[in-house]
Amino acid sequence: MKERLSIKENLLIGSLLFGLFFGAGNLIFPVEMGQLSGSNVVLATIGFLITGVSLPILGVVASALSESESLYDMASPISSAYAVFLTCALYLTIGPLFAIPRTATVAFEVGINPFISPEYLRIGLFIFSLIFFSITLYFSLKPGRILDWVGRYLTPIFLVLLSILLVVTFLKPMGQINQFAAQGDYIDKALFTGILDGYNTMDALASLAFAIIIISNIKKLGVNKPSAIAIETTKSGLVSIFGMTIIYVSLAYMGTTSLNSVGYGDNGGLILSMVSNHYFGFVGQILLAGIVGVACLKTAIGLITACSEMFSDMFPNSISYKNYAVVFTGFSFVIANFGLSNIIQLSIPVLMFLYPLAITLIALSLLAPFINKQRDVYRWTTGFTIVAAVFDLVKALPKPMHKFTIIRKMIEFANAYLPGFEYGFGWIVPSIIGFTIGLIIWSMNGRVKNFS
């Protein structure tokens, strides 16, 4: 049994991590953040890297340390019902509710939006998403060499073209990062707003769902001891962290400097398209649109396949894989027609609720060798976190809903009694309190409860 991977093997696993976490959809958020944060882009980017880069790697490491075979297994110390709830909620979020519809809308914003009149955007999105998801369903039902071909050749081409665009951005900058003032919450809460922006990548949620892929590949290379797997995952993760950090920092810089030449965009996809047109004109824009479109298609096929397989495995006596694929594809098509900006806005309350649960689960799993998956510690920590996360969800609801008395009262209560709530982190203190209570109860019981 090996204790460590070779440098070549670490690079291989690091590339796999990068490929799993970085899709075309990840392009749009740092660009938009760069525009809105203006002169405060450095602080905002640091925050973004915390949740958009570091946290996903910790999620995989946590899964290895806790010796979990799946997200369900990872959350089982709390209860089997909670494990089912979290697994379903997480897969639906990174699947047909938000992430899959986003693939179509990102491709549309980059490839089609700039070339059609505003009055035809809705019908254009409808036709485009219909074609996009028809192709997605076809390959999800009959996966073959196309997935391998796309992943092996088109994704590297996409990264090469993106690298050219990013390099040109630095060689021929469109402006300076201190030219434009920060907007909204970026004015006095740039770091914390950047942390919340990192939620939009959904990579930390994805890390809990797909950690088993990384762990199984490390095991195939001969490393089987949980602590050794965690160490090798961390080492390999440095490769992914380096690559994603370079790209995210460059995209944020692109967004900030683009204000001088292309102005504000409604979303990151449109901004990226405008920047491409600024540097390379029509031909460059068409080429980028094609590559982004194919990358998004690859991501959509992968997510439909993963979600359908998970649900058919978790509920083997219900509908089949093929029927799940049809349902998820159809639902994604409907959601996609709300448009990219609306999908992002709709996802924020859900992410504000799920991320605290994911972060505390990652923290508990990292501590698993010391707390032995102790049920009381897991339950009290999670229970307090859920209650506080509900308040974060409520605050993130669309502003018109804040006029309802119950929602207004909940926000007022949280502002008064939950430290950090105004920054989006009202769940941290309650989770620490729950963790402490769990430890005390465990200690008072006078015995270690191992979960198996």
For residues 451 and 372, the answer to whether their CB atoms sit within 8 Å is yes
Residue-level pLDDT at 17: 84
Distance separating alpha carbons of residues 146 and 133, to the nearest angstrom: 16
Give the 3-state secondary structure of residue 51. helix
* Residues in the chain, total: 452
For residues 347 and 179, the answer to whether their CB atoms sit within 8 Å is no
Cα distances from 156 to residues 18, 50, 97, 150, 354, in angstroms, run: 12, 26, 28, 9, 32
Q: Residue range 102-114: average pLDDT?
A: 89
Give the 3-state secondary structure of residue 223. strand
Residue 35: partners with Cβ closer than 8 Å, 6 or more residues away: 255, 256, 258, 259, 264, 265, 271
End-to-end CA distance of the chain: 24
Rg (alpha carbons) of the chain, rounded to whole number:
22
The first and second tokens of residue 89, run together, are 């909620």
Distance separating alpha carbons of residues 75 and 379, to the nearest angstrom: 10
* Bridge partners (DSSP) listed for residue 223: 2
Q: Which domains does the chain have, with CATH numbers?
A: 7-337 (1.20.1740.10), 354-452 (no CATH)
Tell me how far the alpha carbon of residue 169 is from its chain's centroid: 25
Distance separating alpha carbons of residues 141 and 139, to the nearest angstrom: 5
For residues 66 and 281, the answer to whether their CB atoms sit within 8 Å is no
Q: Which of 168, 170, 172 is nearest to 160 (CA)?
A: 168
Q: Hey, what amino acid is at 336?
A: A
Taken in order 170, 176, 180, 186, the sign of the CA dihedral is: positive
Mean pLDDT of all residues belonging to the chain: 89
Express each pLDDT in 429-449 by its tens digit: 999 999 999 999 998 886 544
Express each pLDDT in 237-291 by its tens digit: 888 899 899 999 999 999 999 998 888 888 888 898 889 889 988 888 887 888 7
Cα distances from 374 to residues 76, 354, 368, 380, 445, in angstroms, run: 11, 22, 8, 11, 12
Distance separating alpha carbons of residues 371 and 66, to the nearest angstrom: 10
Express each pLDDT in 335-365 by its tens digit: 999 998 899 999 999 999 999 999 999 999 9
Residue-level pLDDT at 151: 55
Run of H or E including 327: helix 321-336
pLDDT at 197 over 70: yes
Q: Residue range 84-97: average pLDDT?
A: 94
Considering the entire predicted model, what is its pTM?
0.89
Distance separating alpha carbons of residues 192 and 184, to the nearest angstrom: 12
Give the 3-state secondary structure of residue 2. strand
pLDDT at 379 over 60: yes
Distance separating alpha carbons of residues 126 and 335, to the nearest angstrom: 11
